[in-house]
Every structure is written in structure tokens, then in C-alpha cells.
Chain A
Amino acid sequence: EAQVTQNPRYLITVTGKKLTVTCSQNMNHEYMSWYRQDPGLGLRQIYYSMNVEVTDKGDVPEGYKVSRKEKRNFPLILESPSPNQTSLYFCASSLSTGGGDTQYFGPGTRLTVL
């Protein structure tokens, strides 16, 4: 089954404790992206990747890191989480970097930073 998976789905952590949210897709998609969803603010892009080893900042990259060592995986890293990073996070992927391809979203990761 073609899908985007994220882990963990729920995470409660404390300020400053490094964490990684994994994202994986099995559709051989070139493009992957991370969004955060906050009430009243919609979906805001954190980072995106156009292919292996090619990443760039989105609109709200502060406090986050990403890597794209393999085509299928695009982990989101919070080196020192803070309470303002409490949010619902979505990973998304699409076939190519142009042409209006549909973005497929993962199931989401609800993160709480105390």
C-alpha cells in the first residue's frame, strides 16, 4: 500500500531533550516536506527536500533540522525542543518537484513540549 508513515504519533517530552520524528514514504517520491499545524494558523512549512541531500528552509525553520540521506526517509530533528514547538506535525511527499503533483500527507505527530 502506497503511504507516508510517521513515528511516533504522539510524544510528550520536556524542554531541551533532543528528539527525532521519522517520516518514510514507499512511493519513490522525490519531494518531501514537513509542516506544523497550529490552531488559526493553518499548515506552515518547516523544511522541504527536493531529493537526496537537497534540503531547504520553509517558512518556520527555526529550532528544527532535517536530513535526506535516503530517498524514502526525511526525519525532523528538534535539537533542543521548547514549549512553542508544541504542535501537530505533518510530513508530506509528492512524486516530483514541479508540475502540480499531489502531496500525500502522513498521519501526523502530536508533540507536546513541557
Chain B
Amino acid sequence: GENVEQHPSTLSVQEGDSAVIKCTYSDSASNYFPWYKQELGKRPQLIIDIRSNVGEKKDQRIAVTLNKTAKHFSLHITETQPEDSAVYFCAARDLNTGFQKLVFGTGTRLLVSP
């Protein structure tokens, strides 16, 4: 089955810096890669996703890149703000199985200091 590894487990940056979180996946059949943000005490919420037919996707200060050959994808946050502080989870799913089995990474705790 699919296995998703996520690094780093914690990341501290200064406000205004960029942050990059990386994930690798094992199943080459996986073709959908969402990122979820979980603020302290809250539920995970989707912030961006990418499909395998696209190499990069951007939404304001957030971007995700995908390298299918290397089987890794990354979340990029530019001009970080204190409200970006949260735990971020990557996930991978094999859409070809016909059901929504999402496999999550172990999470990255991002701390943005003012």
C-alpha cells in the first residue's frame, strides 16, 4: 500500500521568510496530492491540492510542486505570517482504486515568529 513520508517534523521561520515542507510517496499509482492545515485545537482543512497531470499549482502565497519521477511533492509558503503557524499534513491517494483512501504524512509543525 501507499506510504507517505513528510519532512521536517518541525519548522521554525521568521515572519516574512519562506517555508518548504517536503513529502515523498511510494505508490506510483497515486495521482492526487492534497495538503491540509490544522490549527491548534481545530480540524484539518484543505488548503491546496494537485493532480499528477500538473507539475505546479499556486494560490496566492501557497504553492505545491510535484515531481512524479522522484515521487515527491512539496508545499511552499512565501512571505510567512504568524497566522500560518499550524500543523501541515500532506496526503496521497490512488484515485484508480475507485474509493477515497487517503494516506497522510506524519505532519509538520510550522512556527512563524514575529
Chain A residues within CB distance 8 Å of chain B: 31, 33, 35, 40-45, 48, 50, 56, 58-59, 90, 94, 97-103, 105-108
* Inter-chain contacts of A33 with B (CB < 8 A): 100, 102
Instruction: Give the interface size class of chain B.
Output: 20 to 34
A42 touches B104 (CB 8 A): yes
Chain B residues within CB distance 8 Å of chain A: 1, 6, 9, 32, 34, 42-46, 49, 51, 89, 93, 95, 98-107
* Inter-chain contacts of A44 with B (CB < 8 A): 104
With both beta carbons as reference points, the residue of chain A lying nearest to B49 in the complex is identified as A100
Q: Cα distance A94–B102 when bound, in Å?
A: 12
- Number of A-B residue pairs, CB cutoff 8 Å, is 61
B106 touches A42 (CB 8 A): yes
**Min CB–CB distance A27 → chain B (angstroms):** 14
* Inter-chain contacts of A103 with B (CB < 8 A): 34, 46, 100, 102
* Inter-chain contacts of B99 with A (CB < 8 A): 31, 48, 50, 56, 97-98
* Inter-chain contacts of A41 with B (CB < 8 A): 106
Q: Cα distance A44–B107 when bound, in Å?
A: 12
B95 touches A100 (CB 8 A): yes
Known: A48-B99, A98-B95. A90 touches B44 (CB 8 A): yes
Q: Cα distance A107–B107 when bound, in Å?
A: 18
Q: Cα distance A101–B34 when bound, in Å?
A: 10
* Inter-chain contacts of B49 with A (CB < 8 A): 100, 102
Kindly identify which residue among A45, A99, A107, A108 contacts B102, using a CB–CB cutoff of 8 Å: A45
